[in-house]
């Protein structure tokens, strides 16, 4: 009996080691992906750190949700989805992405197509089909007036979480075609969009997160993006 106990303990130990080794490997990959996305986005004044902000804010929201929400989503997959969120914009001409001022209707239609382009990048990658689906629908409106006409719970929960984080990040970031909003004004805009563009319950959970936690999350991204700036690289060379 004692021998059987020892065997079971050893098996359980190795399963635990393998599990945490796999988690560590995935986290290593996410760190590498985060760095690559940061290097890509540092070149674009309208993206600079946006995907990293969406990743941090989505996780912040995820960990402030009730357990009944959390069990529906793997937070590691949520991170992959947020980091690949705007990868489709690399397929869009820079003349549109970097344009100052208001975009024309045709240009807006192209920009709005980027979730589909991002999803296409991942669609044929083994194990990423669900992530691709989350990305594809992250700009859907809960009132059903989005590109694919999904509404409410028809939109994946992860997509709705990313939509809240994506909207907040876009509001508070300064871009070539618009000024940034303060935390208070951005929160007010989220509440205006609740129930039409964004999931009302998720907006309320997001607004319940302390301003300090949200600002800390975004400051971490600013510090990370500073590492990739040309000025920082040149100063280290000297």
Given 89, 130, 149, 237, which residue is catalytic?
A: 89
CB within 8 A of 70, min separation 6: which ones?
62, 63
Q: Is 89 a catalytic residue?
A: yes
Structure tokens, 13: 């130990």
- Give catalytic residues, as residue numbers: 89
């Amino acid at each position: 009996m004692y021998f059987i106990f020892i065997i079971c303990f050893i098996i359980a130990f190795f399963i635990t080691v393998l599990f945490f080794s796999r988690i560590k490997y995935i986290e290593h990959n996410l760190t590498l992906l985060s760095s690559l996305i940061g290097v890509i986005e540092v070149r674009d004044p309208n993206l600079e750190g946006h995907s990293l902000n969406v990743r941090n804010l989505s996780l912040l929201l995820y960990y402030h949700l009730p357990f009944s929400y959390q069990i529906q989503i793997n937070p590691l997959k949520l991170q992959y989805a947020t980091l690949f969120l705007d990868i489709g914009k690399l397929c869009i001409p820079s003349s549109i992405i970097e344009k100052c001022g208001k975009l024309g209707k045709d240009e807006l239609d192209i920009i709005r197509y980027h979730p589909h382009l991002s999803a296409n990048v991942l669609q044929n990658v083994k194990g990423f089909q669900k992530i691709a689906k989350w990305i594809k629908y992250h700009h859907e409106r809960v009132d059903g007036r989005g590109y694919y006409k999904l509404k409410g719970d028809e939109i994946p929960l992860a997509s709705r979480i990313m939509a809240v984080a994506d909207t907040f990040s876009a509001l508070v970031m300064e871009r070539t075609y618009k000024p940034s909003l303060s935390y208070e004004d951005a929160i007010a805009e989220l509440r205006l969009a609740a129930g039409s563009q964004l999931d009302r319950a998720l907006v309320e959970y997001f607004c319940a997160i302390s301003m300090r936690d949200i600002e800390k999350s975004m400051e971490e991204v600013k510090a990370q993006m500073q590492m990739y700036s040309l000025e920082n690289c040149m100063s280290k060379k000297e």
